[in-house]
Amino acid sequence: MQNNIRAIIGLGNPGHKYENTRHNIGFKILDALAQKFNVSFRIKDQMEIAQAEIDDTKVYLIKPQTYMNDSGKVLPELLKKGIKPEEILVVHDELELPFGRANFKFGGSAKGHNGLKSIISVIGDKFHRFRFGIGRPQDRNEVPDYVLSNFSQQENVENLIEQNSKEIYEFVKLN
């Protein structure tokens, strides 16, 4: 299946308070991708956006600045540019995967992820996802605090961010 990714959206929450939280792994991976592409983000409307080029194809890197629950608000801008849902890759944290494990997926439900719920409410569920495993606390009631907690030094998240940004780069380049 030809992916033709034209936009990569990293999910997270704006502001210094959330910068290093598990929920912000999408932002962190997009920052690493921007370095690989040698591009910088600029503020436009309700997002930080950068434009990269892979093999003569424009690829937008987007970090919504709307807070997680309203991530879908940036999508009308992409739709106006003629970008279809199946040309979008969303990078997000995933409670259902063990910490550090990651994978690509196409379509499916939000499984309780509010950022994905917001996106699905705007464009449906037929888009690509890069799911970065953050693990899950044993007690369901701890999930809200857990996703907003910082990574520990032992988790060595910087190496994982670098490794996963390379995987995404290759995925986009090859498709």
CATH code, domain with 78:
3.40.50.1470
Q: What is the pLDDT of residues 37-85, one digit of tens each?
A: 999 999 998 999 999 988 788 999 999 999 999 999 999 999 999 999 9
For the stretch 84-96, pLDDT in tens is: 999 999 999 999 9
Tell me how many domains the chain contains.
Answer: 1
Residue 2 counted as domain residue: no
Domain that residue 104 falls in = 7-174
Domain assignment present for 37: yes
Tens-digit pLDDT profile for residues 126-173: 999 999 999 999 999 999 999 999 998 889 899 999 999 999 999 998
Is residue 152 in a domain? yes
User: Does residue 36 lie within any of the structural domains?
Assistant: yes
Residues that are catalytic:
23
Q: Is residue 1 part of a domain?
A: no
Question: What are residue 94's DSSP bridge partners?
Answer: 133
Distance CA 132, CA 140 (A): 19
The predicted model gives 95-116 an average pLDDT of: 95
The reported pLDDT for the residue numbered 3 is 56
